[in-house]
Structure 1
Amino acid sequence: MKYQVVNKPVNRLDAFEKVTGRVKYVGDVNFGHQLYAKTVYAAYPHAKIIKIDTSKAEALPGVAAVITARDVPATNVMFGRFPVLADHEVKYIGDGVAVVAAETKDVASQAAALVEVEYETLPGVWSVDAGIEANLKVHDDLPDNVIESSHYPMYMGDVQKGFAEADHVFEQSYRTQFADQAYIEPEVIIALPDPYRIGVEIHGSIQNPYSIRENVAKVLGLKLSQVRVIQGTIGGSFGGKDESVMSMAARCSVLALKTGRPVKMVLTREECFAESCKRHAYLCNYKVGVKADGSITAVEDAIYTQGGAYNNKAMFANWRGSVHAAGAYYSPNVKTDVYGIYSNTIYGGAYRGFSAPQIVFANESLMDEIAEYLKMDPRDFRLKNCLKAGDEIATGQILKPGEIEVPLAEMIRDTCTRADWDEKRKRFAAFNKESKVIKRGIGMSITFRGTGLGGEGIDCAGATITIDKDGSINIQSDLIEMGQGMRTVHAQIAAEVLGVGLDRMTFSTSDTSVTMDGGPTVASRGTLAGGKAVMLAAQKLKDRMLKVAAEDWGVDPADLEIEHEVVSHKERKELEIGFDDLVLRCLQGLGVTLSAQGWHTPGPEHLDHATGRGNAYPSYIYGVAVSDISVDTDTGRISVDHVALSYELGRAINPQQVEGQLIGGFMQGIGYAIMEDMESKDGVLLSRNFDDYMIPTAADLPVFDLKLYETDDNIGPFGAKGVGEIGIELAAPSIANALMFATGRRIRELPLNLERVLIGRNLTK
């Protein structure tokens, strides 16, 4: 199909305002008579609070208010067990015990230091292993440390029968670390009393405004409609600006109502590291049976997600993880159990990939280990076992030919050809025999990913499009632009449907008092669900306008079209009217409204969460990576030299943005693979800023060979399925497999940092 705007690499609509500095981030926004807030954090990762004395802080000139848990108007506990402020006990190092509001930032900091807290330290659960053992409990009201609603089973066939049929059975464990999203902009919240009614207005770097509204309303004892949340420009999130922002919004709102003034809170990087969520740390125990020819007969796995002290994400991450735990492979027998585990540590939450980076690392590392034992080429092992059309996945869902595309085998062959797989394996092996210091390696990984929320929740979303009398078109979505380019994609979709250019498009920011609650901007659903809502709204406007023109001309609306900003008859070319003229005809001539609401609601997937059986997702996307690396065996440093990537995504609305998302995601994956680690000891965070938390830079950028596979899929707008997260999944396992090829060492714990590569900690051949 030929498109006018969709499937084109157009420039981002918000690029100019961002690169020129015209756009204001929330940190740049200030209100008159504004106060500055500072949180007093826990001094220990686990301790009883004996006494809090705020008198010295309150006596400091310039201090307007100091609050503790006793000042919270209604409930002090938010979703996920997060307290607004810790009351009798602190459970991790990021707990807040008091908040100061003062006339200046400096005074707020000084006052926070004057708050005196008397503690009685307590032993804690410092690791996922200790959480599993449950000799100590993080929450006394639970029978153990398993997070509520976080156990997801996924059973198919009979694994014991599958293992009995196997010629070889492999058992192995893999671990991954906590990792920070490392967004440039720290969290910011401004809360102010509503000047016209009872309530509060909240501005912030907020990824999920509706969850903020719901939790703040509970904390304040207000109706949802009395809490207005307005999204500010966000300087990156990747899933992270949720729980910490929720706590900040609640604290600032309590202070705003207490003082009657706007209250602003900006986290330092150290506070951001301590209080914000991280990618969950995982312990993955796998058992796989295979026949002598490499056919998989059974997969059994027990996966433990370290949730931290509080958690409102493990149940969602674990659901997705259970679906994908057996990997992008067919096995007739699968037994998966995924559990979330509480600990007195920093907590896990949403971060690009949402369980996949951890599980794909474990699964794809093991697939290489099995291939090595069987003396099979890793490519051939994957080709033999990878998902194909007609296969049944662990949920019982059939990948029906013609309905759900499964091009994995083709993608594996093509990616390996582009990467010179066979030639490099021979050349690198010969090089490694001669070179004593530098070793070369090549490794691959594959993945598949369910589109949208699937069985996790109803994938609804809304959008409103308004055409004004000057012909400009405004889009307002209830999903969030946080740097991923969603607004540009939405504009392309609307422009394609309406037959106009992008220069007409403007946007209004998301506002919970105006936009519909379409749920969180997660699961790569900005284009899939949000774009579909935009498409539906644009189609309503198009139909409305064509009906007016058809009535004027006495023809059937089905015989009219809009292309290049002209409405015309498909056959009678003398019947035409410019887009602007038809807009005026509708608005001023006939009083026809040109504002329309689109609501995408596919309904829930039919799935039994107790057994894991049913249709997990409406469709899937796929990825293949081949990475070649250099390893300095004197220093332990890994350099990623070249990466061949292939992704199937349905339709690329904006191919340039898609490539940026996928390459950017892989670069984040390189950081996750070889350097990033939120280190702690006995619950005390050791990584406190970017001076000791390393992330990749432009110097670490490899050469990329990226190919997009586009297929006809009717799930999303124009066939798009979303690509925001899949880019990060393949980096760590492909690099780990390349490292094994280069050095003969298998590292089963991330990151593959200098110490593990050089010293050989946790290394086995």
Structure 2
Amino acid sequence: MPLMGGKDYKILNKPVPRVDAVDKVTGRAQYAADLKFPAMLVGGCLRSGLSHANVVRIDTSKAKETPGVKAVLTAADIPKPQSWADYMYITDKIKYVGDVVAIIAAEDKESLEDAMKAIEVIYEELDGVYTIDDALKTGTVQVREKGVGLVDGIPTPGTKGNVFMDSYFRIRKGNVEEAFKQCDVIIEREYRTQFVEHAYIEPEACVAVSHPADGIMTVYSSSQNPFFSRRYIADALQCPMNKTRLVQQTLGGSFGGKEELAGLNVGRAALLARATGRPVQMILSREDSILESSKRHPFRFRYKIGATKEGRILALESELIDNSGAYNNQTQYMNCRASIHSAGVYQIPNVKNDTFGVFTNNIHSGAFRGYSSPQIIFAQESLMEELAEALNMDIIELKRKNLLRQYDLTATSQKLVQPTLITEMMEHMLESTDFVAKRENYQKQKVVKRKGIGLVTCYRGCGFGAESPDASGAMVTALEDGTVMIHSGISENGQGLKTAYAQIVAESLGVKVDDIHHYGIDTHAIADSGMSVASRGTVMGAQSIKKAAEKLKKLLLETGAELLHASPLDEVEIEDSMCFAKSNPDIKLPLSAVCATRLWSGKQLSVYEWFEPKPLHFDHGTGQGDVFPTYSYACVVAEVEVDLETGCVDVLKVSSGHDCGTVINSALAKGQIYGGIAMGMGFAVMEEVEVNRGRVGNKNFDAYIFPTAMDVPAMEAVLFECDDKEGTFGAKSLGEPALEGVGAAIASAVNSVLINAKGVRLRRLPFDLERVLLGKSLRAGGNS
């Protein structure tokens, strides 16, 4: 089996401790809320609390007269109320409850709160649209002017409606109509998912400081994507980007959430800092964070699938619609990925898919770990189980007949030329978890608390792929004492990127990990390399840092060869920060001697490299072509116990196997998988942002229920490796795949109990107490 352990590296494949671990556990790490500046003010936002309304009149005169208040701004006071990315810094046209009608800067929190109470606002409330079904009705309220309608089920420009045209993607492979005629079994099903909150411990925070001499606006922020946030500063102030600077602080969690809201936060803080001439700190309350931050997209999935009586899938037709909420910046990119993965990890010759989002007067949806895959895998794997039932065939046997193998074609007709391990992985997980025997035993239970087991298979395209250029830049600098500094345009967000990059540089350059320092993101110090999203940080983002380290090594070897009187160049090596000739390894020079010699002889000690991936030829009109450089695969097995009298689901164990290509750091890889299991458990059985006609019912962690240390199950992380040629040192994506299949596996296990005990299958997440107890896929108002 291709388990981890077959590759020979000096630094990679090792559980090197996190380079930022000591700072975090000792409290030395600086978060944005920890920062203090002389004469610093506190900033805040007044939100409408309404889902759809117009501001008829707003009076801020009393607020401005409040002692300690230094600035009160409304939409009329700023040059550009709408952000470059569609959201509103401040608005008088309310689209959802998180919209801001005024921002305030004051000496302290008490003065800030007094000012908010003193602002008088008169609203004209309007009818709203909240569900996917309502958004698609003819003649309903149009939430956004850019919305379009459907013609024969297809989003069509020039019509009026609530469909976000830019979010429409489709796949047309083969001929599904003809293929369905050849099928012995055809089923049609609908599945739904919910709004989910990121629930990071640190809420959004920043400090905006205007330099008195050159006027540069510097913002220190908890931003997931510093360059992305910098755009908001320049946009809000309407100034050149070289007059704006973003310095990323340590993040206390993000998972995709600290993008748009973090950008709005820094833009508003910059506006207040410019208005007052003083530093302004904005720290969102948990309630404000939940109201305004993006959520995991709720989906409505409609599938039609057909197969021969032998179990060969011939055709799949699907419609994937997501509830985008009031604003959009991510749905169009996410739906591209959603469409591409809509057929799952199966070889299906005929595929038709339409994927799009709709505007509603809800909290808005955005990037969240998995970027649509957790929802899709739940629906797709549930569909496969129901197809197996209709065929009277075991689900494992159905998978064996249809799982993708190397050189097969995906739904986009991309040939899988890199190793495709999913069948071998599934067989290993079946054996290691004793899946078949447990399933047979669990089906014989007659007690109130019954156990169930479920298995899912899935895959994910690595990096941006055809969604966006996956280029990156990095600088590696050797200092005269032999230590090394790394500057990368891709940011550390808590995922362990600094450690992974240190290991990659150490492997490439021959220096000790302890001798490497990864400098954080300062937008004035390094070029933009795109966002830390799509699990691209190592698989693609590290390519530039590897190139820079390898080039720097060649430069250092030139001087090392001179000092050692060795020739040719490949006779010289650097290892453990020591330079030596291979023919005489007992004589070693410390790297500091090599670096100092180069410095004082005026030779290059720093290398900047840029990486551009190979071009991918993909037709967005048909959804056909090569979409990603390679794919990572996963097989997840979940075991649960369901109390049929209370509806309580206890997740007992999750065994999660992942194709990592090359494991850069085994401890970090397992850490990602453990975190993904906890997050996937929440998605499956407890987490849901309760939205009723646009109003959010659970605005803090006392009401929003997610897994704690008391809830997480026994966890097993299984790492597989293969000889993939695309990623850095052969590495593949893991951060998001670690989560993606977990919720579906738990849902499968729960359904195995309910089908056996009640003859009922749930098709809407989460499988919480009420749904499990009643055996119904109840819908919460406004979610889907």
Which category of TM-score, normalised to the shorter sequence, fits these structures? over 0.9
> What is residue 169 of structure 1 aligned with on the other side?
186
State the SS of the aligned residue for 2:702. Answer: coil
Are 2:417 and 1:408 equivalent residues in the alignment? no
> What is residue 682 of structure 1 aligned with on the other side?
693
> What is residue 671 of structure 1 aligned with on the other side?
682
Give the superposition deviation at 1:438.
0.7
Give the superposition deviation at 1:554.
5.6
Give the superposition deviation at 1:573.
4.1
> What is residue 202 of structure 1 aligned with on the other side?
219
Kindly provide the CA deviation profile for residues 621-666 of structure 1, in whole angstroms up to 9, marking residues without a partner as x: 0000111110001110111112222110111100110011012112
State the SS of the aligned residue for 1:393. Answer: coil
Give, in whole Å, the separation in 2 of the partners of 1:122 and 1:763.
Answer: 27
Give the superposition deviation at 1:763.
7.9
Q: How do 1:77-92 and structure 2 match up within 5 A?
A: 77-87=82-92, 89-92=93-96
Letter paired with 2:89: V
Report how many residues are paired. Answer: 755
Kindly provide the CA deviation profile for residues 65-99 of structure 1, in whole angstroms up to 9, marking residues without a partner as x: 000111212x3222342111113x10000000100
Give, in whole Å, the separation in 2 of the partners of 1:763 and 1:408.
Answer: 34
- Which residue, out of 597, 604, 609, partners 1:585? 597
Contact 2:481 / 2:591 at 8 angstroms: preserved in 1? Answer: no
Give, in whole Å, the separation in 1 of the partners of 2:146 and 2:10.
Answer: 59
Give the superposition deviation at 1:266.
0.4
- Which residue, out of 415, 418, 431, partners 1:398? 415
Contact 1:206 / 1:231 at 8 angstroms: preserved in 2? Answer: yes
Give, in whole Å, the separation in 2 of the partners of 1:763 and 1:409.
Answer: 35
Kindly provide the CA deviation profile for residues 504-560 of structure 1, in whole angstroms up to 9, marking residues without a partner as x: 121222011111110110001111223222111111210111122234526222222
Letter paired with 1:175: R
Q: TM-score of the superposition, structure 2-length normalised?
A: 0.94
- Which residue, out of 95, 117, 120, partners 2:124? 120
Kindly provide the CA deviation profile for residues 459-500 of structure 1, in whole angstroms up to 9, marking residues without a partner as x: 111221222112221112111111111100000111111112
Could you say if the C-alpha distance between residues 243 and 49 of structure 1 is closer, same or farther in structure 2, counting changes exceeding 3 Å?
same
Are 2:702 and 1:691 equivalent residues in the alignment? yes
- Which residue, out of 255, 261, 264, partners 1:244? 261
State the SS of the aligned residue for 2:539. Answer: helix
Letter paired with 2:579: V
Are 2:143 and 1:129 equivalent residues in the alignment? no
> What is residue 607 of structure 1 aligned with on the other side?
618
Between stretches 569-578 and 193-202, larger displacement belongs to: 569-578
Contact 1:439 / 1:743 at 8 angstroms: preserved in 2? Answer: no
Are 2:777 and 1:762 equivalent residues in the alignment? yes
Contact 1:80 / 1:310 at 8 angstroms: preserved in 2? Answer: no
Contact 2:223 / 2:251 at 8 angstroms: preserved in 1? Answer: yes
Structure 2 unaligned runs (5+)?
1-6, 148-159, 780-784
Could you say if the C-alpha distance between residues 196 and 462 of structure 1 is closer, same or farther in structure 2, counting changes exceeding 3 Å?
farther
Kindly provide the CA deviation profile for residues 119-143 of structure 1, in whole angstroms up to 9, marking residues without a partner as x: 0000001112111225111113542
Give the superposition deviation at 1:21.
0.7
State the SS of the aligned residue for 1:79. Answer: coil
> What is residue 662 of structure 1 aligned with on the other side?
673
Q: How do 1:642-653 and structure 2 match up within 5 A?
A: 642-653=653-664
Q: How do 1:140-179 and structure 2 match up within 5 A?
A: 140-142=145-147, 143-179=160-196
Give the superposition deviation at 1:722.
2.2
State the SS of the aligned residue for 2:493. Answer: coil
Are 2:640 and 1:636 equivalent residues in the alignment? no
Contact 2:482 / 2:577 at 8 angstroms: preserved in 1? Answer: no
Could you say if the C-alpha distance between residues 141 and 2 of structure 1 is closer, same or farther in structure 2, counting changes exceeding 3 Å?
closer
Letter paired with 1:596: V
State the SS of the aligned residue for 2:246. Answer: strand
Are 2:62 and 1:45 equivalent residues in the alignment? no
- Which residue, out of 538, 557, 569, partners 1:557? 569
- Which residue, out of 255, 263, 268, partners 2:272? 255
Kindly provide the CA deviation profile for residues 642-701 of structure 1, in whole angstroms up to 9, marking residues without a partner as x: 222211011110011001101211210000000000011110111111111111112222
Give, in whole Å, the separation in 1 of the partners of 2:288 and 2:452.
Answer: 39
Give, in whole Å, the separation in 2 of the partners of 1:676 and 1:573.
Answer: 59
Q: TM-score of the superposition, structure 1-length normalised?
A: 0.97
> What is residue 516 of structure 1 aligned with on the other side?
527
Contact 1:77 / 1:84 at 8 angstroms: preserved in 2? Answer: yes
Contact 1:459 / 1:529 at 8 angstroms: preserved in 2? Answer: yes
- Which residue, out of 298, 301, 312, partners 1:295? 312
> What is residue 344 of structure 1 aligned with on the other side?
361
Give, in whole Å, the separation in 1 of the partners of 2:244 and 2:486.
Answer: 23
State the SS of the aligned residue for 1:358. Answer: helix
Give the superposition deviation at 1:219.
2.3
Between stretches 53-62 and 132-141, larger displacement belongs to: 132-141
- Which residue, out of 558, 578, 582, partners 1:570? 582
- Which residue, out of 719, 725, 737, partners 1:708? 719
> What is residue 21 of structure 1 aligned with on the other side?
27
Give the superposition deviation at 1:707.
1.4
Give, in whole Å, the separation in 1 of the partners of 2:165 and 2:86.
Answer: 10
> What is residue 157 of structure 2 aligned with on the other side?
none
Letter paired with 1:701: V
State the SS of the aligned residue for 2:718. Answer: strand
Give the superposition deviation at 1:421.
1.3
Kindly provide the CA deviation profile for residues 182-211 of structure 1, in whole angstroms up to 9, marking residues without a partner as x: 100000011111233133111110011111
Kindly provide the CA deviation profile for residues 355-387 of structure 1, in whole angstroms up to 9, marking residues without a partner as x: 101111000011011112222221111111111
Give the superposition deviation at 1:502.
1.3
> What is residue 529 of structure 1 aligned with on the other side?
540
Give, in whole Å, the separation in 1 of the partners of 2:656 and 2:398.
Answer: 19
Between stretches 625-634 and 192-201, larger displacement belongs to: 192-201
> What is residue 151 of structure 2 aligned with on the other side?
none
Contact 1:153 / 1:338 at 8 angstroms: preserved in 2? Answer: yes
Kindly provide the CA deviation profile for residues 147-167 of structure 1, in whole angstroms up to 9, marking residues without a partner as x: 141000111000001111110
Contact 1:405 / 1:620 at 8 angstroms: preserved in 2? Answer: no
Are 2:635 and 1:624 equivalent residues in the alignment? yes
Between stretches 663-672 and 187-196, larger displacement belongs to: 187-196
Kindly provide the CA deviation profile for residues 288-313 of structure 1, in whole angstroms up to 9, marking residues without a partner as x: 01111111010110000111100100
Q: How do 1:202-221 and structure 2 match up within 5 A?
A: 202-221=219-238
State the SS of the aligned residue for 1:392. Answer: coil
> What is residue 493 of structure 1 aligned with on the other side?
504
> What is residue 750 of structure 1 aligned with on the other side?
765
Give the superposition deviation at 1:703.
1.8
Letter paired with 2:547: L
Are 2:4 and 1:4 equivalent residues in the alignment? no
Structure 1 unaligned runs (5+)?
none
Q: How do 1:461-480 and structure 2 match up within 5 A?
A: 461-480=472-491
Give, in whole Å, the separation in 2 of the partners of 1:532 and 1:276.
Answer: 32
Give, in whole Å, the separation in 2 of the partners of 1:675 and 1:573.
Answer: 60
CA RMSD between the two structures: 1.4
Give, in whole Å, the separation in 2 of the partners of 1:542 and 1:562.
Answer: 8
Between stretches 416-425 and 618-627, larger displacement belongs to: 416-425
> What is residue 456 of structure 1 aligned with on the other side?
467
Letter paired with 1:749: R
> What is residue 354 of structure 1 aligned with on the other side?
371
Give, in whole Å, the separation in 2 of the partners of 1:421 and 1:751.
Answer: 24
> What is residue 547 of structure 1 aligned with on the other side?
558
State the SS of the aligned residue for 1:715. Answer: coil
Between stretches 372-381 and 171-180, larger displacement belongs to: 372-381
Could you say if the C-alpha distance between residues 36 and 370 of structure 1 is closer, same or farther in structure 2, counting changes exceeding 3 Å?
same
- Identity fraction in percent: 39
Contact 1:62 / 1:104 at 8 angstroms: preserved in 2? Answer: yes
Give, in whole Å, the separation in 1 of the partners of 2:560 and 2:658.
Answer: 43
Could you say if the C-alpha distance between residues 763 and 139 of structure 1 is closer, same or farther in structure 2, counting changes exceeding 3 Å?
closer
State the SS of the aligned residue for 1:278. Answer: coil
- Which residue, out of 284, 302, 314, partners 1:285? 302
Give, in whole Å, the separation in 1 of the partners of 2:389 and 2:625.
Answer: 34
Give, in whole Å, the separation in 2 of the partners of 1:148 and 1:422.
Answer: 46
> What is residue 427 of structure 1 aligned with on the other side?
441
Give, in whole Å, the separation in 1 of the partners of 2:76 and 2:538.
Answer: 43
Give, in whole Å, the separation in 1 of the partners of 2:295 and 2:49.
Answer: 20
